[in-house]
């Protein structure tokens, strides 16, 4: 029998979707049985008490977790988030229930052995409950006690060669898409730069000195599998400068129904024969394609690299050869001031080791934000408050047409007096020669 | 500023404010130190390492306090 009655939670299991309540009950049962004979280092009934306190929160319509804490591992200001229950007598199993963030491997590639090792460690020294993955990308361990933190950290770093991730006012765990390891769309090696910058900025990752969180995300192409454009303070989005490569024979094969569009996805239903005009040319956001006399033509100057045509006909269209990435800045989720997408800062930059040019941009942004950012102000909010032009000045980047969404709207770039030949003062008599009063 | 001088300054200022506040943003510390954030960070890191200051984190935001002070300290220093 369950330790606590949970009628409200039980209802969550009745829907058509998998339920975390079922998962928690399963873990509770497995801990109670303990078939593997584990010497649990935190209360065996932690999952039951977690269900109990959650049920109580639903009943009261308020949380029973206290806000934050001072726990951590020695030398690190992030990676551990203190959680304490405000009903420790009723639910002693979750009196401390700290979260640990584990830096996920690049591209979220791991072996089953690695996963098993992590899970075994967490069964032994924590609640056994994980979240794969948090929205920053980390592997999240949910629920352990203070004395276990250093033990877990030691085992992670010494046995599994595995670091904690970022939390708090830190550089958050950089995250990347699988990139060139498996994806033919990848315009740069996302894992190489993600790893290099993670190592380079260890201090920023582990010791908080920023006004608020700061995220890097690396997408190998504009398909944005890690949603960098919506979430990262600096998004690295793969792109190319030259032309999309076209294989006209393969285009014909798509038109002739020999190849399945979209790599064969969406084939579960009959959508009728593939119509290149309707499904590709007409959907090009910049209307820069045409299909005439069995030939596909792209006006590459107008192409925004949206990836649509390439996604539909990957055998016929391929990314260009002169590859790099665009840097966008200031995206964030809607906590304050609403959600914000990234704004284009650097239209194209080569992504090559040792990434010095990229580091220069990053560090200039940090210098500005650390100095000017208010407490709990994301980069995107500072850009709004002081203006995009200020960001350009601070990063030493010249305004270019790509910075302007459309004339006379945001971000509007103003001339300064010293940038204008002869300044703003004009000889009035000279002026009057051409203009009446 | 020498490290010892900086330490005295931080401890004094934070102790003065104890009545109303026990947790401080990083910015507050660099203001007390009258330093650029990157410079201040070196000192603050050392203060944490020496156990003069300690981190507090809500998960989304980090703050600093004199070690062992504040409402939560008693409850959280288990044993
Ligand atoms: S973002 Fe692009 S390169 Fe990266 S995995 Fe997705 S489709 Fe491939
Ligand atoms: S990538 Fe997008 S913008 Fe470029 S040609 Fe294809 S559909 Fe048009």
pLDDT digits (tens, 9 = 90+) for A386-399: 999 999 999 999 98
Report d(CA A180, CA A191) in Å as an integer: 8
Closest residue in A to B43 (Cα) is A209
**Shared domain check, A144 and A22:** yes
The CATH number given to whatever domain includes residue B71 is 1.10.10.10
Q: Could you tell me the CA-to-CA distances from A46 to A64, A85, A116, A170, B40 in Å, in that order?
A: 15, 12, 21, 30, 41
Q: What pLDDT score does B69 carry?
A: 81
Tell me the C-alpha distance between A192 and A352, whole Å.
9
Domain that holds residue B56: 3-75
- Picking from A240, A110, A232, the residue whose alpha carbon sits closest to that of residue A188 is A240
Query: What's the pLDDT score for residue A195?
Result: 97
Q: Which residues of chain A have pLDDT under 50?
A: none
Q: Using CB atoms, which residue from B61, B75, B78 is nearest to A376?
A: B61
Query: Within this chain, do residues A48 and A120 fall inside the same structural domain, yes or no?
Result: yes
C-beta of A305 in contact with ligand 2 (< 6 A):
yes
Give the ipTM of the model, two decimals please.
0.89
The response to whether residue A306 sits with its C-beta less than 6 Å from ligand 2 reads yes
| Contact A227 CB / ligand 1 (< 6 Å) | no
Q: In the predicted model, is pLDDT for residue B75 greater than 60?
A: no
Strand ranges, E, within A13-124: 80-81, 99-102
pLDDT at position A422, please? 83
Residues A60 and A141 in one domain: yes
* Angle at the Cα of A315 from the Cα atoms of A309 and A317, rounded to 5 degrees: 40
* A208, A77 contact by CB (below 8 A): yes
Which of A116, A131, A159 represents a domain boundary (last residue)?
A: A159
Higher-pLDDT residue of A397, B19: A397
Instruction: Give the pLDDT of residue A236.
Output: 98
pLDDT attached to residue B79: 38
A433 is a domain residue: no
Same domain, A46 and A124: yes
| A69 touches B at CB < 8 Å | yes
- Report how far residue A405's alpha carbon sits from residue A343's, in angstroms, rounded to the nearest whole number: 9
Question: Is residue A208 located within the same domain as residue A339?
Answer: yes
- The reply to whether residue B57 touches residue A84, judged by beta carbons under 8 angstroms, is no
Per-residue model confidence as pLDDT tens digits over A303-357:
999 999 999 999 999 999 999 999 999 999 877 778 999 999 999 999 999 999 9
Phi/psi for A47 (5° steps) reads -70, -35
Domain annotation covers residue A186 = yes
Identify the sign of the CA torsion A369, A372, A378, A384.
Answer: negative
CATH number of the domain at A39, please.
3.30.70.2500
Closest among A83, A138, A146 to A106, alpha carbons compared:
A138
Asked if A81 reaches chain B (Cβ–Cβ under 8 Å), the answer is: yes
Probe residue for ligand 1, chosen from A219, A262, A310, A324 as the CB with the greatest number of ligand atoms within 8 Å? A219
| Residue A19 confidence (pLDDT) | 96
Q: What is the DSSP string of A19-40?
A: -HHHHHHHHHHHHHH-TT----
pLDDT per residue as tens digits for the range B38-64: 999 999 999 999 999 999 999 889 999
Average pLDDT over residues B3-29: 93
Instruction: Give the end of a domain, one of A126, A159, A192.
Output: A159
Q: What is the pLDDT of residue A5?
A: 96
The last residue of one of the domains, among A106, A127, A159, is A159
- Note down the domain range covering A275: 245-318
Count of CB atoms situated within 10 Å of the CB of A369: 24
pLDDT of residue A404: 83
């Amino acid at each position: 029998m369950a330790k606590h009655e949970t009628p409200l939670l039980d209802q969550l299991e009745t829907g058509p979707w998998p339920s975390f309540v079922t998962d928690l009950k399963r873990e509770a049962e497995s801990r109670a049985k303990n078939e593997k004979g584990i010497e649990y280092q935190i209360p065996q009934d932690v999952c039951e008490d977690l269900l109990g306190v959650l049920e109580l929160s639903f009943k009261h319509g308020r949380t029973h977790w206290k806000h934050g804490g001072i726990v951590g591992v020695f030398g690190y200001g992030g990676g551990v988030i203190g959680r304490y229950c405000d009903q420790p007598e009723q639910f002693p199993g979750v009196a401390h229930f700290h979260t640990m963030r584990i830096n996920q491997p690049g591209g979220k590639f791991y072996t089953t052995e690695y996963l098993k090792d992590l899970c075994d460690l967490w069964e032994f020294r924590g609640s056994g409950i994980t979240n794969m993955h948090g929205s920053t990308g980390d592997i999240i361990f949910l629920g352990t006690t203070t004395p276990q933190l250093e033990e877990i950290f030691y085992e992670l770093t010494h046995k599994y060669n595995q670091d904690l991730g970022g939390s708090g006012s830190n550089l958050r765990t950089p995250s990347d898409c699988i990139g060139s390891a498996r994806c033919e769309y990848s315009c740069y090696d996302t894992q190489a730069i993600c790893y290099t910058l993670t190592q380079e900025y260890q201090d920023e990752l582990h010791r908080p000195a920023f006004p608020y969180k700061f995220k890097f995300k690396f997408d190998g192409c504009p398909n944005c599998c890690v949603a960098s454009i919506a979430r990262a303070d600096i998004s690295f989005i793969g792109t190319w400068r030259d032309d999309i490569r076209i294989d006209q024979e393969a285009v014909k094969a798509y038109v002739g129904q020999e190849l399945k569009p979209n790599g064969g996805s969406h084939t579960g239903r009959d959508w009728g024969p593939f119509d290149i005009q309707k499904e590709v040319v007409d959907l090009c956001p910049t209307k820069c394609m045409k299909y005439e006399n069995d030939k596909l033509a792209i006006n590459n100057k107008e192409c925004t690299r949206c990836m649509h045509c390439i996604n539909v006909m990957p055998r016929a269209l391929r990314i260009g050869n002169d590859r790099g990435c665009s840097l966008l800045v200031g995206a964030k989720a809607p906590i304050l001031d609403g959600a914000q997408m990234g704004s284009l800062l650097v239209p194209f930059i080569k992504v090559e080791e040792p990434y010095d040019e990229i580091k220069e941009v990053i560090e200039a942004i940090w210098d500005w934000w650390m100095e000017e950012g208010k407490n709990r102000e994301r980069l995107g909010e500072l850009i709004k408050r002081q203006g995009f032009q200020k960001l350009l000045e601070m990063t030493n980047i010249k305004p270019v047409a790509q910075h302007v969404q459309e004339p006379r709207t945001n971000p509007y770039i103003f001339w300064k007096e010293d940038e204008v030949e002869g300044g703003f003062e004009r000889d009035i008599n000279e002026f009057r020669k051409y203009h009446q009063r | 500023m020498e490290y010892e001088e900086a330490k005295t300054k931080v401890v004094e200022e934070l102790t003065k404010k104890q009545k109303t506040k026990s947790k401080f943003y990083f910015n507050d510390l660099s203001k007390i130190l009258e330093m650029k954030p990157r410079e201040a960070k070196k000192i603050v890191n050392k203060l944490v390492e020496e156990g003069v200051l300690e981190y507090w984190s809500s998960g989304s935001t980090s703050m600093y306090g004199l070690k062992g002070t504040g409402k939560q300290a008693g409850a959280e220093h288990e044993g």
